[in-house]
Structure 1
Amino acid sequence: MTHQPLCVEDLRRSAAARLAPAVWDFISGGSGTESTLQANRAALDGVSLVPRVLAGVKSVDTGAQLPGGPAALPLAVAPMAYQRLLHPEGELAAAQGALAAGVPFVVSTISSHSLEEIAAVGADLWFQLYWLHDRGRMVELIRRAEQVGCRALMVTVDVPIMGRRLRDLRNEFTLPSWIRSANLESDGPSAAHARRPGESAVAAHTKLAFDPTFGWSDLEWIREQTRLPLVVKGILDPQDAEQAVRLGADAVVVSNHGGRQLDGAPASITALPWVAEAVGGQCRVLMDSGVRSGTDILRALALGADAVLIGRPVLWGLSAAGAPGVAQVFSILRTELEEALLLAGCADLAAARTLRSIISGLRV
């Protein structure tokens, strides 16, 4: 008998069995010893929520107001590269799943379908931008995002270089010829397709494309290029969050890039309360890295987040069943979040933010 997945972990196991080992390592691995990758889950599991009782809650409202507008759930799909590695339809199928769930889909600069192709799906899109050597290309990407109706611009600030991901180095990971960085290249081969002994071709490609000198003045320049809401992703230090707000950020994402950048950085959920307190409601606060359940979403809300980004679980659903698999991920998360809200005595997300939490024995 084939059982329907009951949690995203079921989809993770399905994806692990289905994907080629090198592709699985590419989406699952972290940098260095993967200590931060592991810390993300351990820290989330270390957050206990103190439920309220006799609240008289019969039903809950999971609707959220995000930087680009309303969403059915307090989440968006995190920007993730080269999704055709997981399924032939790649980002198109993932965006269809997000559309069905009523949540935003963030298009990566290095997606394997073009921004215009993904926009044709009709989902609520944000566009994620890396700082490139070619500033003219960045302006072009921003204009394309505006033209197709993206509702927010997300700038990732924690990748001056790609973290040293040992799994990819050992696998000498290389993109297959039929996958390309559709927003940056022609159909021809790139550095991401050239195998080199002991190297990751994807890391080599990003080194050529990304400019590590990205600074605050550059973020200010990006702010001047568009009227779209600006989301700054990759913040862990509260002082950086405050500076982002001063430069016009409409939201910050507390993120350690899923444990794929600085190994030894704190878990995102650990840094979340510091950042939320620092910005003091001046901008929206999102969080990613390690979120796997509706309870995790509730934990993030209780510790100061307005919403979360969902990354790897979307790829697991995409691998398992394309667009329906992604929609299933969000269906599971919705069911889990609704149940968690009810059990915690919360009628809506505002009530969730008033819950007391215990973090590894420390009450907050």
Structure 2
Amino acid sequence: MASSTNWFETINEAQWRAKKRLPRSVYLALLAATERGLTLSDNVAAFDELGWRPRVADLPAERDLTTTVLGHEISMPLLISPVGVQAVHPEGEVAVARAAAAEGTAMGLSSFGSKPVEEVAAANPLTFLQTYWVGSREDILARAERGKAAGAKAFILTLDWSFASRRDWGSPPIPQQLDLKTMASFAPEVIRKPRYLATYLRHRTLPELGVPNIGEPGQPAPGFFDAYGEWMQTPPPSWEDLAWLVDQLDLPVVIKGISRPDDARRAVDVGAAAISVSNHGGNNLDGTPGSIRSLPAVVEAVGDQVEVLFDGGIRRGADAVKAVALGARAVMVGRAYLWGMAAGGEQGVRNVLQVLRAGIDEALLGLGRASVHDLVPDDVIVPAGFTRGSGDPAPAALAMAADPATRQAPAQASPEG
């Protein structure tokens, strides 16, 4: 389908439309990464180093994209990653949740998001609530129990964050609240983007900077920096803390932020139902390798003991297929859907998901795979040294796949990994 006023063909075009529509500070906040943005860049660029081994005959006329995550079927191996402070559209996470539900996939909701879990779970019954380690053990357990009561199907605990606030290339500050002084300072940017302003005027609201999922239900939402300050003052969790939470909570727990095989094994030991290989979209320690470089060694470390999700740098459906071929159960998408929402609201998010779905299907066709469950590491050409920095030696199967002199297929990745 050719691009039109209401449709874009690629994620790059969604980003271009978002840049045209959003005030400069809002757009730059979507690009934020720590320090020089080395990890953010590598998240995307690393996918370009991976090649394909396509087939040309006996290709499947139809391809099955469906899979399961934590026992729930989704229409493709892709779900929404939780992202906080969504000031790109008045309907925020509720619009994203509706779009994900319409496309048959799960919604990840950030505890630092702008909409309460009760509203989001009502819009998408397959909602996973995310939090950081903010407050006491009991505070975190209560947050998870609130999510469960609202209908959330899983609890995501994000641990890859080091409170680095330096942005060498000038990422904008996030205001604590939209008082008159703040609105006056941002007014010159907003006036230059009349479509953005008109959207908020039609909804008779202002961008929401509170974090209702950190506070008590029905009470005024804490300000972003109130919650952030509490987070900074909370001691980081121990593995004992994580084991306690998993034991107490009657929901599957996803530990997000894994990049090392030894951490992956510890997550299995404490009872995590799934892990997410992630570097917080480049917002943790700058210089950490792109997530896709860490994935193979993590998959090798845990085998089929736990579901492995992937998060970082997905810009094409083909990227998702590469991650699944290397052992991920499914991928999580962040910035791409925010660009879609900025470009076209709920329909823009659906547009992004449809573009990614088409890319997954096309890659399966080219590889001659009838199902996402048929993908194996040998479908991908992995160059020597690609998995640098994993902490463990590269898996033997991937080393074989990377060697052009070797044509024997490596062992198939477990569909549970």
After TM superposition, the score normalised by the length of structure 2 is 0.80
Paired position in structure 2 for 1:147:
149
Provide the C-alpha distance between the structure 1 equivalents of 2:295 and 2:100, rounded to a whole number of angstroms.
25
Assess if the C-alpha contact under 8 Å between 2:137 and 2:241 holds in 1.
Answer: no
1:318, CA displacement in angstroms?
1.1
List gaps (5 residues or longer) in structure 2: 179-207, 386-400, 403-417
Match of 1:54 in 2: 57
Q: Which residue of 1 aligns with 2:372?
A: 349
Determine what percentage of the aligned residue pairs are the same residue.
34
For residues 325-364 of structure 1, what are the structure 2 equivalents within 5 Å? 325-360=348-383, 363-364=401-402
1:198 matched to which residue of 2? none
Distance of aligned partners of 1:306 and 1:66 in 2 relative to their CA distance in 1, 3 Å threshold: same
- Which range is displaced more, 291-300 or 3-12? 3-12
Change in CA separation of 1:311 and 1:133 when aligned onto 2, cut-off 3 Å: same
1:181 to 207, 211, 227: 211
- Structure 1 position 175, deviation (Å): 4.4
In the alignment, is the contact (CA less than 8 A) between 2:214 and 2:222 conserved in 1? Answer: no
Q: What is the aligned residue count?
A: 351
Which runs of structure 2 are paired with 1:232-311 in the superposition (5 Å)?
232-311=255-334
- The CA deviation at 1:240 is 0.4
Cα distance in structure 2, aligned partners of 1:330 and 1:137: 34
Question: How far off its partner does 1:141 sit?
Answer: 1.0
Q: Does 1:93 align with 2:100?
A: no
Contact residue 26 and residue 168 of structure 1 kept, 8 A: no
Tell me what 1:195 maps to.
none
Pairwise CA distance, 1:246:
1.0
Give 1:164 shift.
Answer: 2.5
- Determine which structure has more spread, i.e. the larger CA radius of gyration: 2
Does the alignment pair 1:111 with 2:118? no
CA RMSD of aligned residues (A): 1.9
The structural deviation recorded for 1:104 is 0.4
Kindly provide the amino acid, as one letter, of the partner of residue 55 in structure 1: D
Q: Deviation string for 1:89-136 (max 9, x for gaps)?
A: 001101011011110001111111111111221341011121112333
**CA distances 1:64-89 after superposition (whole Å, capped 9, x unpaired):** 11115110010110010022x01000
Q: Distance in 1 between matches of 2:222 and 2:274?
A: 36
Equivalent residues of 2:211, 2:227 under 8 A apart: no
Letter in 2 for 1:162: F
- Asked if 1:164 corresponds to 2:165, the answer is yes
Structure 2 residue aligned with 1:77, among 62, 76, 80? 80
SS in 1 for 2:361: helix
Give the aligned partner of residue 127 of structure 1: 129
Could you say if the C-alpha distance between residues 138 and 68 of structure 1 is closer, same or farther in structure 2, counting changes exceeding 3 Å?
farther
What is the TM-score with the length of structure 1 in the denominator?
0.91
Which segment is superposed worse, 252-261 or 51-60?
A: 51-60
Query: What secondary structure does 1:106 align onto?
Result: strand
Query: Cα 1:353–1:123, aligned 2, differ >3 Å: closer, same or farther?
Result: farther
* DSSP 3-state at the match of 1:286: strand
For structure 1, the residue ranges without an aligned partner over 5 or more in a row are 193-201
In structure 1, give the amino acid aligned to 2:106: P
Task: Tell me, yes or no, if the aligned pair for 2:327 and 2:377 is still in contact at 8 Å.
Answer: no
Letter in 1 for 2:367: A
Between 52-61 and 263-272, the greater mean CA deviation after superposition: 52-61
Secondary structure of residue in 2 paired with 1:120: helix
